[in-house]
Amino acid sequence: MPRISTYQTVTPQGDDTIIISQANGSPADATKNITVNSLTNLVQEEAGMLYIDTEISSAQILDLQNTPVVLVPAQGAGTVVSIGRMFAKYTFGTTAYSQNGNVFISINVNYIEGVTAGQGFFNLDTSQDMYQLSPADYRVGQTPSAIENKDVVIQSPSPITLGDGTIKVRTYYSVIPSTF
């Protein structure tokens, strides 16, 4: 068998496999395969750098007061989603959105059932198309049961009218135990 250093170097793809020796597997130290994607996910999770992209259609934007859009789904019993940063890219259509007579919209990020995940909001109009939302430390004063195993959603505090653009939101988050 040739030396590993003599094999061709390639750019890895998500479904490529990597050979490992699983120390605590059955049997111990057995040679197994993992994918590049699974290794990437593990590294991101351990470093607290997970992210998820959410596309929000014009119809969803117009109904955000009534129907929140899930940005980060609940991660299971005993866990809490901790929001790091959020970026929103607004793609203007042909008509600006309107809210309370203004040509911009304010959107809040909450845990489902009304618990605030961030006091920040961003305004979308025709003059900019990229926004950053850095939520405040929303855990202070919250009981773990109030935010445990809850979806993180985006919603509007008041009706949005007109408009036909879309929003793409990238949410950076980590999953932490609700007790530690």
For residue range 87-133, list pLDDT tens digits in order. 888 888 888 888 888 776 777 777 666 555 554 455 666 556 677 76
Instruction: Give CATH for domain 50-177.
Output: 2.60.120
For residue range 40-54, list pLDDT tens digits in order. 777 766 666 788 999
For residue range 134-151, list pLDDT tens digits in order. 554 444 456 666 778 888
Report domain extents, the chain. 15-47, 50-177
User: What is the reported pTM?
Assistant: 0.69
SS3 sequence, the chain?
CCCHHHCCCCCCCCCCEEEEEECCCCCCCEEEEEEHHHHHHHHHHHHCCEEEEEEECHHHHHCCCCCCEEEECCCCCCEEEEEEEEEEEEECCCCCEEECCECCCEEEEEECCCCEEEEEEEECCCCCCEEEECCCCCCCCCCHHHHCCCCEEEECCCCCEECCCEEEEEEEEEEEECCC
